Structure 1
Amino acid sequence: MRPSASFTLLLHLLPFLSTCFSSEEYEFRALLSVRSSINDPLDALSSWSNSTPSFCNWHGITCDDHSTSHVSIVRLSGKNLSGSLPSVLFTLPFIHTLDLSSNGFSGGIPPEAFSNLSSSLRHLNLTNNHLSGPIPLRPDGRDKIINSSLEILDLSNNYLTGETPDEISNNFPRLKVLDLGGNSLRGRIPSSISQLRTLEFLTLASNELVGRIPPELGEITTLQFIYVGYNNLTGEIPPEIGNLTALKHLDLVYNNLTGAIPGSVGNLHKLRYLFLYQNSLSGPIPPSIYNLTALISLDLSENDLTGEISEEVIKLENLEILQLFSNRFEGAIPRSIAALPRLQVLQLWSNRLSGDIPADLGRRNNLTVLDLSSNNLTGGVPEHLCYSRRLVKLILFSNFLEGEIPSGLSRCRSLERVRIENNRLSGELPPEFTKLPLVYYLDVSGNGFSGRIDGRSWEMPALQMLSLARNDLTGPLPDSFGSENIKNLDLSENQFSGGIPAGLGRFSELARLTLSKNQLSGPIPEPIAECKKLVSLDVSKNHLSGEIPAGLSDLPVLTELDLSENRFSGEIPQDLGKTGSLVFVNLSHNHFHGSLPATGVFLSVNASSIAGNPGLCGGTARSGLPPCTAAVEKKPRRFSVTVLMVGLLILLLSVLLLLLILRRRREHIYLKKVEINGNGVWEVRVFDEKASKAITADTLLTSIKEGTVAVPDGAGDGMLFAVRNTTDIPSIGWAEVTDMGRFRHRNVVGLAGACRSETRWVLIYEPVEGGRSLSVALRELSWEKRCRVAVSIARALHCLHRRGMLLHGNLTAGNNVVLDGDGVARLLINVFPSGLEEGKRELAEEESDVYSFGVLLVMLLTGRCHVDAEAGKHGGVVEWARYCYSERHLDTWIDPVMRGQLAEYQDEMIRAMELAVRCTSVDPLQRPCMKEVVKVLVKSVEKPGSWVSKIKRALPI
């Protein structure tokens, strides 16, 4: 009997069906094992259980369309899962998409996950986890194809280490997307990547890669996106890049690339984004770049490019963002820029551009951000900059612009930030210019504006910072500026007259009020004391009179008070000395009389801060005031005798104590006098016998160099000689020097002795074996070593402050910090005040040491000294770093030497800069104490590095 046709078909399908059923059972058990092996705090996998036998209905699981119902997709992104990667998911026989991104998986990628990778897998996404270790592709598998179907491999934003595997191209030959960015991969970019002939998207950004960009990349003609920024790549951009005619996005930023931009880049006609900023590229912009008509954003900023910006820029008709700042471009801004129809952001600041700003700029554009600051531009401010009514930020400071503010700009109600300071603008402020509703920052200082500002309408409800300083404005001050949110008001160096308006007391957010160098008269109005957030009040060099309002003593955060060179009279309120936040006061050249308060800031006030008040008396010896006299009441004889007896007893005890001290000093201090021809007689005090034998007339002669720290060859047994001139410092006694000589700390270079003549002091430090100044050694120090330097010096300062001692010096150039032969940072303490903070040379408080340490921290982070030519018109390096940190993308201030460590330690570097900004705060009250600094630093360096997400570049303000 012949079998039926259906039975015959069943016999043929039986082996296949058996395989399918066994596979489904395998998948079921594999998924259950996954749930039991990982942490799932959100119960995202609660449906993965025996009670729901069909795994196709489980959360995150998608099955194929066949009746066999096999797992084709596992998508568990962002479920807060953690633990080790479940390697069994990589081996599911029918899976084509595995997405475990944005979870907390840690440890290494299991080698068996790649070696047994399912042949059906096309998309593997493990981004944003905590995976570490190398990518597990074995060298002996170089010729073995692990998966010929995989198209997307995303391992970005983890903690992977080792080198980029040379075997990727052979193991996964059909890759279209390869994303290894945001890890800690080292070594070179393997040239074998060029064998991935279907690759469209390549990201190796934010690693620690070195070497050159392999020219073989030019062979992958399918590439559309290249991201290799934030590494430490060197050499030139290979001209073979020009072969990638399908390329749409080229990002090589934050490397050490040198040489010229290759002209072959002009062949990339589909290119929309070209980012080459923060390198060391030189030469002119190649003319071929202007053939890239599809460009939307062109950023060549922060390089060393030269030449002129060509009028050919008009060809870039789709350009929306043009950033060429911080280069050395010369010549005029091309007129054709004004004709780019889609231009929104134009930033050309810090170049050497000259000539006029194009008159039609803004008329045919959609400008939102315009920054042409720090150039040599002349002429007037164009009328049509805000023609589109979209301009938000206008930054033109530090040029040579002339004329008046155009009416079109004064009606620009979209503006939020305006900085046109330090130009030659003149005329009156237009009436509409003080009615801009969104402006929160307005600085027109350092110009020649004239006229009155009262009697006009101030309608600026968002205003927080207003500076009209250094102009020729006249008349009385207005009672209001249209905003109760003003935090910083600077009207100094004008010709304002009349009284200080009582309405200023309504500014509840006011922190700094500067009215100095005007012709104001009358008293300080009592309502000023209602500004409870006031930190600094400067009304110096006016014609103000009356008494100091008693309410100023109640301001809780008042730190700086300058009433000098006015006509104030009366007594200084005794409660003013009880204002704990007050650290700087200048009451000089007024008509105050009576007793100087004997508390608070007045205990350390300098004579120059109270000079010119003949009626004042009292204070400490430092104040230079005569003692106050008062009528002496008659006391009973018995009381007088008691007082006399107690006085004699105290005198006797004092003499005994003095003898004891002198005896102990003789045990430890060696005294000698040395007469040096032409340099007078020097008194020498040495704190140890070794130094006493080393100090001779010859060593003094060879070491006395004004204002230097010398290390003589063999002289003084290698001791360091620091020289200062007493004409620049107040009187210093031997007591302070001796205290320094007895102070010992692991991170402080001990003071071995000191010499004094009639005109000079010389400090003699203990030898530092193998010592080098920090400024010399800095370029060789890794981030970890710089952290150790910061912690060491912070601990030394904290210990000094606990002993009631102040550094009095500065750390700005790194010469007061020495690294010994073991790399240990040691501080050269200095008893001589060195006013680092401009305008506060009298200030000798812990806050000044904290400021000095903040400058050192900036130096460690940026590699720049306190006064650095590259800081340009931003002033010192502190102002430059704060400008870069707050106004632009965060990574501009990092020392290029440490770029290779940026991926691993970015968070720590940012926290350190935040601490440096706090330490150098203009308001001393906002600075942390050294105890807190040590705590923050130690906590920061103990936290492991992280790179949670790719760096996204923010536009400058």
Structure 2
Amino acid sequence: MFMANLSLFFHAIVLLSWPATLAIASLAGNNTDHLALLAIKSSITHDPQGVLNTWNTSIHFCQWQGVTCGRRHPRVTILNLGSRGIVGSLSPQIGNLSFLRVIRLGNNTFNGVIPPQVGGLFRLQKLILYNNSFEGEIPASLSNCTRLNILGLGGNQLVGKLPQQLGSLLNLVILSINDNSFSGGTSFMGNLTSLEVLAAHNNHLGGNIPDVFGQLHSLKDFVFAGNRLHGTIPPSLYNLTSLRTVDLYENQISGGLSKDIGLQLPNLEELQIWRNKLTGSIPSSISNCSNLVHLDLAENGFTGKVDINFRHIPNLRFLVLYQNSLGSSEPDEMNFIDSMINCSNLELFLAFKNQLRGVLPSSLANLSSQLTLLDLGANFIYGSLPSGIGNLVKLETISMQYNQLTGIIPSELGNLGNLTQLYLNNNKFTGNFPDSISSLSLLLELDLSVNRLEGQMPQNLGNCKSLVKLYLPVNNLTGPIPRELFQLSSLIYLDLSQNHLVGPLPQDIGNLKSLTVLNLSKNDLVGEIPDAITSCTSLEYVYLEANSFAGPIAPAFRALRGIRDLDLSSNNFSGKIPIFLEQLNLSSLNLSFNNLDGKVPTGGIFKNASMIAINGNGRLCGGIPELGLPRCDLVARSKKGSRVILVVVPLFSFLVLAMALSLLFCWQRRKRQTQPPEASAGQPFSRVSYGSILKATDEFSEQNLIGTGTFSAVYKGILEAGGAMVAIKVLKLGNQGALKSFMAECEALKNIRHRNLVKIITSCSSIDFQGNDFKALIYEFMPNGNLDTWLHPSQEQEIETEEAAPRRLSLHQRVTIALDVAHAIHYLHQECEIPIIHCDLKPSNILLDNDMVAHIGDFGLAKFLPLKPHESSSIGIRGTVGYAAPEYGLGSKMTKEGDIYSFGILLLEMMTGKRPTDEVFKEGLNLYDCVKMALPDRVMEIVEPTVKEEMEAASVNRRSGEDEVRRWKRLEEGIMSLARIGKLH
């Protein structure tokens, strides 16, 4: 009985003490959370919104901003400090908030590591740390938080391999690790079968796409863009029928898309796989993806017809297909545009840099009224631009450049009041300059260059008050430059070159205070440079060559302290070269072919002969020795000094050239142009890979092959998006001597820089995909090929079309090319720090750019002077038979005179039209002897027929008066310049 009562007594005590026990436990928990929160506060160094001001003892911590406690007990369950601008680190004491279910710290500037103590929060369901500055690796202890359904770590500075232990987080629905620097494999993610969103873009994750991803049957968003993935898309991925988003852009994925992708992934809303290595045709089954909003397949190797029926994809907003090889040459190739009229939400349509061919359908005018960007440039589209394009009133950008469009530019473009960029350059548009463009008040960039526009520029072009860049070169525009154009104070780039503009340059040019590039070259402008140009303080590039500007070089240039390139060549400037040009930070100065006299400065840019051009000014003296000018004191003592020209190399070379020069300068003054600085071919590339070259040349296709030789083959191609065409010289390393040729060319080209030498852009020294050595040189592309094809056109080239003239060189062009080559030889022999002998001068190594300016190429046989002992003689002939100096065949050492001999033979070939290896030269007769025998009475019998006709026509139409005297004087100066260049005096 006593024992029973004692038991009841103790039970009663326990029951009475239970609330006190709970209170003590709760009090202890309260204190732990309170101290942990204070530790978190102490690790924060900046709180711009004052969130933590409430974190004090005046109120319970459950009432602090960003803190939420449970309903049944005062323990912290949610810590929400997201988007507060907070700076600091995350205290390890956060691991003591053991009741935490949610941590939201995104969009702040937390730094340091993610504390491993977070892995002790077993109740944690959401960990959101995105868009901070957390560093280090993901703690493997996070794998203990098995209740996690959201893990957001994107937008930090985390590194290292992803912990494989994270594969145990089987409840994860959202995994965001994007925009970090994670590396390694991702196969463990195949275990996360609850995943709906997997965002891992912009990391360094590599390898193939794991086949186990096919187990993620709940996955809706699969985002692995901007990594290092390669291989093909695994078939298992096409089994994930719930997928809405597939973003795999900027990887190295190859192969093709499943032809049934639209049937396998019918719920797709976004498919972005641009900038990969995918090939084959675009599957027509994409038409089945009726919910598709964003389709981006750009920068791959897709080919064939665009065979998608866009009528079944009404929600499409972005269609991006640029930089592939799409096109089939079928008559209905452009009909896919007809099916796009049902895409009423379409905003972007980009298909430039493909091989689309055909006429733009009139249905283009019925595309979405929401369309803001239309780019079909760099295709083979012909016909007219549909006038209905004026219906697309929300258009902001139209790019149709580098096609074959003809007809007039439709006036309906004036309806596009939102237009900011209009690119119709490099087509065949005709008619007057479109007056309607003047109504585009928001227009920022207008490019109508390289067309056939004529008439005067409209005065109301000045209404385009927002215009920043205006490109109108290579048209047939006439009349004066409208003064209203110089009221566009926002202009930074103005290019009116290669037209027929006349009159003086107005004083109003001073209004263009933001102008950085001014190109008025190759027009018929006259007068002096206005002093107002001194107000154009932002100018960096000024090209005024090949006009009729006169007077002294304007003192106003003194104020243009930022100027880098200045070209005043082929004008009528007179007087002395201003000394202030020494103080300008110039990288290029061309004053050639003017009437300048007196002493050449020796400071600043004048210290480097390769950066200046002053030839064609016969009364200059002094300067640095490399210029080869007479001493000024000798000129002063002998105003009429005699000049003796001794012909050392083939006599007829110089006589015929003198004859050509005489007639040329009586016929038309010499014009040349420097390309604007924004020409993408002149921009340097970084070193390129074998893969880039393989893609640029379409896997070294025959269509891209320009020429082939013993040591190399040359292809054309485009290496980067938006880039210019380049020439790619691929070495045939299997041929003996090819590697030596490659090394010689690299060694020579790294030491030289001249406007008449082919410009090397970069090189490639790598291995191909079979593990073989691969070497290539990338040069500036020369659109007009080599001189040999112009002197000796093939039968195909001889065929004339209705639009093209015969492929023949005029007398003017022949002499200009000869001068260009002579300047380059003089530079190699006399102006290089280490003189260079080219050793292989011949027409096929003279390349012609878009303006028919000549550039010497192929330095595979080049040698530096003085020669090394083993180079003193040559076994066999160095160079090409017929052009190589005869003494080379006897083992004589290589000399500058050998190049001069080759140059002489080249000149004979240019004037006679006969190769030195022509079959007419038999039984000991050669080109030189043939010419010699014709001198002096029968010389016109051996001149190339078309040249002979020009000579006879020019002799009938010779001018007279002061202009004639001036031209003959410039002829004399040109001949003397050639004499110096060729070392003939």
Q: TM-score range by the shorter chain?
A: 0.5 to 0.7
Task: Say whether residues 1:554 and 2:566 are aligned partners.
Answer: no
Residues 1:13 and 1:148: Cα distance change in structure 2 (over 3 Å): farther
Task: Output the TM-score relative to the length of structure 1.
Answer: 0.63
The correspondence for 2:68, drawn from 62, 65, 82, is: 62
Residue 400 of structure 1, CA deviation: 1.1
Query: Deviations 1:108-167 (Å, cap 9, x if unpaired)?
Result: 4343421x2232x221112234434443336xx9xxx83443211112233434433333
2:453 aligns with 449
Instruction: State the distance in 2 between where 1:79 and 1:829 align.
Output: 57
**Please, which of 333, 356, 360 is the counterpart of residue 357 of structure 1?**
360
CA distance in 2, matches of 1:309, 1:632: 75
Alignment of 1:568 with 2:479, yes or no, is no
Distance 2:356 2:629 in 1: 55
Distance 1:613 1:160 in 2: 65
Change in 2 beyond 3 A, CA 1:606/1:260: closer
Aligned to 1:165: 163
Once the 2 structures are TM-superposed, how far is the Cα of residue 459 of structure 1 from its aligned partner? 0.9
Contact 1:188 1:210 in 2 (8 A): yes
Alignment counterpart, residue 593 of structure 1, candidates 574, 594, 597: 597
CA distance in 1, matches of 2:172, 2:594: 80
Tell me which amino acid in the other structure corresponds to 1:433: I
Alignment counterpart, residue 501 of structure 2, candidates 487, 496, 500? 496
Q: Name whichever of 266-275 and 37-46 sits farther off.
A: 37-46
Paired amino acid for 1:514: N
Contact 1:775 1:813 in 2 (8 A): no
Structure 1 pair 96–621 and aligned structure 2 pair: CA distance change class (3 A): same
CA contact (8 A) 1:201 1:223 kept: yes
Query: Given the alignment, which residue of 206, 212, 215 partners 2:208?
Result: 212
Say if 1:197 and 1:220, in contact at 8 Å, map to a contact too: yes
Aligned-residue offset at 1:370: 1.1
Which residue of 469, 474, 479 corresponds with 1:475?
479
Match of 1:508 in 2: 513
In the alignment, is the contact (CA less than 8 A) between 2:287 and 2:313 conserved in 1? yes
Q: Which runs of 5+ in 1 are unaligned?
A: 634-773, 781-811, 816-825, 842-850, 876-957
When residues 126 and 355 of structure 1 are mapped into structure 2, their CA distance, relative to the original with a 3 A threshold, is same
Aligned to 2:198: 202
User: What SS does the corresponding residue of 1:101 show, helix, strand or coil?
Assistant: coil
Residue pairs, 1:698-777, within 5 angstroms: none
Structure 1 residues 865 and 412: alpha-carbon distance in aligned structure 2, compared to 1, 3 A threshold: farther
Shift of 1:574: 3.2
Change (3 A) 1:837 1:325: farther
**Residue 89 (structure 1) aligns with:** 94
8 Å Cα contact 1:572/1:597 also seen in 2: no
Instruction: State whether structure 2 residue 327 is matched by structure 1 residue 323.
Output: no
Q: Secondary structure at the match of 1:384?
A: helix
In the other structure, the counterpart of 1:522 is 527
1:450 Cα deviation after fit = 0.9
Q: Over residues 824-864 of structure 1, what are the superposed CA-to-partner deviations in whole Å (9 max), with x where a residue is unaligned? A: xx9999798855575799xxxxxxxxx99x968999xxx99
* Structure 1 residues 80 and 345, CA gap change in structure 2 (3 angstroms): closer
1:210 alignment partner AA: G
Distance 1:631 1:504, change over 3 A: closer
Match of 1:262 among 243, 258, 262: 258
**Quick one: distance in 2 between partners of 1:98 and 1:295?**
35
8 Å CA contact 2:517, 2:539 repeated in 1: yes
Q: What one-letter code is carried by the residue in structure 2 that aligns with 1:217?
A: F
Q: What's the secondary structure of 1:458's corresponding residue?
A: helix
Map 1:431-442 → 2, pairs under 5 A: 431-442=435-446
* Gap change, CA 1:165 and 1:260, over 3 Å in 2: same
Residue number in structure 2 paired with 1:146: 144
Corresponding residue number in structure 2 for 1:31: 37
Name which of 533, 536, 546 aligns with 1:531. 536
Given that 1:577 and 1:598 are in contact with CA atoms closer than 8 Å, whether structure 2 keeps it comes out as no
Alignment of 1:327-338 (within 5 A): 327-331=324-328, 332-333=333-334, 334=336, 335-338=338-341
Could you say what secondary structure the match of 1:867 adopts? strand
| Residue 844 of structure 1: aligned partner | none
**Is the aligned partner of 1:348 residue 2:351?**
yes
Higher relative contact order (CA 8 A, sep 6+): 1
Q: State the alpha-carbon separation in 1 of the partners of residues 292 and 261 from structure 2.
A: 12
Structure 1 position 556, deviation (Å): 1.9
Specify the SS of the correspondent of 2:462. coil
Name the residue aligned to 2:395. Answer: 391
Q: How does 1:775-794 map to 2 (within 5 A)?
A: none
Label 1:572 to 1:275 Cα distance change in 2 as closer, same or farther (>3 A): same
Moved more, 411-420 or 208-217: 208-217
> Contact 2:605 / 2:612 at 8 angstroms: preserved in 1?
no
Pair 1:480–1:865, CA change in 2 (3 A): farther
1:210-255 deviation digits (Å, cap 9, x = unpaired) = 2222233233222221111121112221232233233221111122
Q: Which residue of 2 aligns with 1:179?
A: 176
Q: 2:306, 2:132 → 1: CA distance?
A: 44
Aligned residues: 667
Cα displacement (A) at 1:415: 1.0
Aligned to 1:300: 297
2:778 is the counterpart of 1:867: yes
Instruction: Return closer, same or farther for 1:425/1:43 CA change in 2, 3 Å cut-off.
Output: closer
Of 277, 282, 297, 2:279 maps to: 282
Does residue 545 of structure 1 match 2:550?
yes
Mapping for residues 42-121 of structure 1, pairs under 5 Å: 44=50, 46-47=52-53, 51-66=57-72, 68-78=73-83, 85-114=90-119, 116-119=120-123, 121=124
Amino acid aligned to 1:353: L
Tell me if the contact between 1:272 and 1:294 (Cα under 8 Å) persists in the aligned partners: yes
Distance 2:496 2:506 in 1: 13
1:272 corresponds, among 255, 269, 272, to 269
AA matched with 1:867: I
Q: Aligned partners of 2:687, 2:439: CA distance in 1, in Å?
A: 50
Structure 1 residues 325 and 373: CA distance shift in structure 2, 3 A: same
Render the CA deviation track for 1:737-783: whole Å, top value 9, x for unaligned.
Answer: xxxxxxxxxxxxxxxxxxxxxxxxxxxxxxxxxxxxx9799999xxx
Counterpart CA distance in 2 for 1:87 and 1:832 is: 60
User: Residue in 1 aligned with 2:470?
Assistant: 466
Quote the Cα distance in structure 2 between the aligned partners of 1:604 and 1:8: 102
2:220 aligned with 1:224, yes or no? yes
What is the CA distance between 1:608 and its match in structure 2? Answer: 8.6
8 Å contact from structure 2 (residues 127, 152) kept in 1: yes
8 Å CA contact 2:360, 2:386 repeated in 1: yes
Q: Secondary structure at 1:209's aligned position in 2? A: strand
Q: Could you list the per-position Cα deviations for residues 609-628 of structure 1 after superposition, in whole angstroms to 9, with x for gaps in the alignment?
A: 32333333333333333333
1:539-572 CA deviation, whole Å, 9 max, x = no partner?
2212333332222233222332222222333x12
* Deviation per residue, 1:626-653 (Å, 9 max, x gap): 33349999xxxxxxxxxxxxxxxxxxxx
Going from structure 1 to structure 2, the CA distance change for 1:396 and 1:865 (only over 3 Å counts) comes to: farther
2-side partners of 1:235 and 1:778: how far apart?
A: 17
Amino acid at match of 2:226: Y
The percent of aligned pairs where both chains have the same amino acid is 30
Which residue pairs with 1:941 in the alignment?
A: none
Deviations 1:424-472 (A, max 9, x none): 1111122121332111111111111111115555311111211110011
Alignment check: 8 A CA contact 2:402 2:426 kept:
yes
Gaps of 5+ in 2: 638-685, 693-727, 732-742, 767-773, 786-985
Cα distance change on mapping 1:604 and 1:226 into 2, 3 Å: closer
Identify if the C-alpha distance between structure 1 residues 79 and 342 changes in structure 2 by more than 3 Å, giving closer, same or farther: closer
1:239 — aligned with what? 235
Match of 2:311 among 288, 310, 314: 314
Give TM-score, length-normalised by structure 2.
Answer: 0.61
